[in-house]
């Protein structure tokens, strides 16, 4: 999908993925993400699909997540758990399910969290499994970055536990 977006954005230019990558790295720098480098538009090392070649830090991921959450349309898209795309002249109707298992059990059950609001799900077997997720509990909105879970999908369980902990540990105080 990222490649399709790149070619659409750059009107079919042969170097569209590279141009998009340059724009992505430029945006990361503009946000102040000084310890992040994206090496291709998918983040995966083309020689080893089990290993991500792009690199970042927790601080930079939080910067990105907070900037992302200011984009209403993106937030709404990431909250979609199930959508059916209509048929086109190129393909039939397609149903897409979220990979954020905190939002929905339609693809894989056992990880939903009733306060989850969205953001992104990620994986990475060599350094553990990861997720960046958001939740809203009452008036409190949380962003969680869970990294290094040793079991597939365990980062979702970790995020849910962290959301519950944060909800109990933090409160608003009038000063």
Q: What is the pTM assigned to this prediction? A: 0.80
pLDDT at 87 > cutoff 60: yes
pLDDT of the residue at 112: 94
Q: What is the pLDDT of residues 101-132, one digit of tens each?
A: 999 999 989 999 999 999 877 766 667 788 99
Distance CA 111, CA 99 (A): 11
Confidence of residue 37 (pLDDT cuts 50, 70, 90): confident
Distance CA 54, CA 94 (A): 30
Q: Which residues contact 5 (CB under 8 A, 6 or more apart)?
A: 20
pLDDT of the residue at 2: 79
Query: Which tokens in the block code for residue 9?
Result: 């954005």
Query: Which tokens in the block code for residue 26?
Result: 């430029």
pLDDT at 43 > cutoff 90: no
pLDDT at 158 > cutoff 90: yes
């Amino acid at each position: 999908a990222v490649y399709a977006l790149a070619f659409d954005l750059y009107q079919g230019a042969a170097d569209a993925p590279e141009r998009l990558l340059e724009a992505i790295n430029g945006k990361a720098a503009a946000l102040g993400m000084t310890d992040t480098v994206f090496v291709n538009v998918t983040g995966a090392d083309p020689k080893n699909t089990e290993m991500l070649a792009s690199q970042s830090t927790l601080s930079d991921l939080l910067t990105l997540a907070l900037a992302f959450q200011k984009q209403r349309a993106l937030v709404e898209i990431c909250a979609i758990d199930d959508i059916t795309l209509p048929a086109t002249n190129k393909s039939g109707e397609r149903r897409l399910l979220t990979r954020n298992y905190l939002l929905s059990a339609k693809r894989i059950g056992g990880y939903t969290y009733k306060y989850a609001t969205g953001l992104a799900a990620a994986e990475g077997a060599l350094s553990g499994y990861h997720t960046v997720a958001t939740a809203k509990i009452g008036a409190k909105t949380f962003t969680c970055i869970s990294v290094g879970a040793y079991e597939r999908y365990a980062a979702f369980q970790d995020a849910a536990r962290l959301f519950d902990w944060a909800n109990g540990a933090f409160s608003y105080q009038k000063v």
